[in-house]
Amino acid sequence: MLARGERTKAQDYLRRSGYKDFNSPVTLIGAFSEDVASGHTFAARRIAEVVPGRVYVLTGLEFTEYYFVVSDDGRELIGIDAGTRPDSAKTAYEALRAYAPGLPPLTTIFITHSHWDHIGGHAYFRSVNPRLRFYARSNYQGEIALDLAVPDTFAKYFFGERFSLDDVRSFKPDVTIDRQTEVKIGGTRIELIPVQGGETRDGMFIHLPDLSVMFVGDFIMPYLGAPFAPEGDLQGLLDAIDVVVQRNPKHLLHGHEPLTRNFSSPAILTQLKQDLGWLRGQVLAAIRHGDARASIQQANLIPPDLLHGHPDVYLPYFVMREHVIDRLFDQNVGYWQSDLTGLDHLSRADRAELLADYLGVSEKQLTKAVERLVADGKYELAASLLESSGPRFERSDSVAKAKRLVYLKLMEKNQNTDPFKFIPYSAKSGEQTPQMSRGN
């Protein structure tokens, strides 16, 4: 627009983008945003009414979605999940109250699963109403134990510097569920359905049959659990799909905006189940054959019926395929692999020694090689080269500049399909990505 002399329009789009100026080697146009203090958000901020006057969704206030339901008698407010941090929970709840000031008091919160980003704000909600009742699965403590064991680095990347594991550690529900249970809150009939799901063992669907609404948490998170945690169950995901299809809700509401957008109906899930079952068979056969993970990923596995089925399944299958392969490979192969990966324990410092001391690679040669790789679109290979040689050139301005560009290109590549890759690439580049405005 600037090139065409449309400066006013360009400035308007700059304002909406959140960027301070036009000077960036890579312009990111996706909805993902990163902030060191508050972490990742998936979409622009908004409050919407899924069922007018009854079911509210708050998007883009932090890592996860917030949902609230007004009971049938209009006297109670019901929450679904508790967010990541007390400060973000406070921001979300106050935003809801400003949007709909006549809402009744919050009395109940149902937890779809006990991951960091779904229970971390519980203390704030307790402060709003000390008599508030939390419902969660009876095996919630096992999931929290997994949460507490993962590297702290990932939690800060995803949830921001304000995040504290103490907010996860201190969660304790008032009511635990170990079997299918029906409760009534303010006259609203609520079906609590324990599921294994694809992500955690403590999953629970919250079904409101009279509103045809089902809250499903992260049961179909494409990564089959957090990629940095030893969890995930493809069969659990396939079984949970059957539960959704059997109830056939009109509104299928997930724990994160991209999940609700991409896995939006029982019809999509029905075909996706078939395609993922086919993929599992192909991956397990390749593992038995001794194929390396990279070769399985590069085989471009496409179910024979995919292109003849529902077009809305194309993207969900694509975003899941890579991570289903990775999770199945991780769960079915030991620490020694058929291509001899895992037999040695060479570090990045060892590889830097090989490049600099034995092959004589100079700073100039390194940056030139990275520039060629970037020009050819081989960003992952460029990043691998930089990480292998980084310790020897960590004070080099040219290497630092090349590194920033590589990770920006990786962010650009994944900005509409893989938020969990986008997050660490952002951290590696030192890039904070402002949140877009929805405009007028």
Strands 46-51 and 213-217: unpaired
Contact by Cβ (8 Å): 263, 269 = yes
Residue where one domain finishes, among candidates 246, 264, 282: 264
Residue 340 lies in a domain: no
d(CA 341, CA 202): 33
Phi first, then psi, for residue 298 (nearest 5°) are -80, 0
What b-and-e string marks burial along 161-187, b requiring 16 or more CB atoms within 10 Å of the CB? ebbebebbeebebeeebeeeeeeebbe
Is 96 in the same domain as 234? yes
Task: State the DSSP code for 80.
Answer: E
Is 143 in the same domain as 258? yes
Is 243 in the same domain as 354? no
Tokens of 184: 């009534």
Residue 74 lies in a domain: yes
Is 361 in the same domain as 217? no
Determine how many CB atoms are found less than 10 A away from the CB of residue 8. Answer: 8
Is 110 in the same domain as 203? yes
Strands 133-137 and 203-208: unpaired
Predicted pLDDT of residue 439: 55
CA angle 167, 199, 36 (to 5 degrees): 45
Tokens of 37: 């203090």
Q: Could you say which residues of the chain have pLDDT below 50?
A: 440
Predicted pLDDT of residue 18: 61
Residue 16 lies in a domain: no
418 three-class SS: coil
Residue 10 lies in a domain: no
Residue where one domain finishes, among candidates 235, 264, 293: 264
DSSP string, 268-332: HHHHHHHHHHHHHHHHHHHHHHT--HHHHHTT----TTGGGS-GGGHHHHHHHHHHHHHHHHHHH
Is 253 in the same domain as 278? no
d(CA 276, CA 279): 5
Residue 90 lies in a domain: yes
CA angle 340, 343, 347 (to 5 degrees): 110
140 three-class SS: helix
Residue 434 lies in a domain: no
The two most distant CA atoms of the chain are separated, in Å, by 76
Phi first, then psi, for residue 191 (nearest 5°) are -100, 120
Is 251 in the same domain as 298? no
Q: Where are the beta strands (DSSP E) in 60-121?
A: 66-70, 77-80, 106-110
Is 318 in the same domain as 256? no
Is 279 in the same domain as 250? no
Structural domain that includes position 362 = 348-429
d(CA 318, CA 316): 5
Predicted pLDDT of residue 17: 62
Is 363 in the same domain as 283? no
Residue where one domain finishes, among candidates 239, 264, 289: 264
Residue 214 lies in a domain: yes
Residue type at 285 in one-letter notation: A
Residue type at 86 in one-letter notation: P
CATH of the domain at 39: 3.60.15.10
**pTM: predicted TM-score of the whole model, two decimal places:** 0.92
Residue 118 lies in a domain: yes
Tally of domains within the chain: 3
Is 115 in the same domain as 238? yes
Is 198 in the same domain as 235? yes
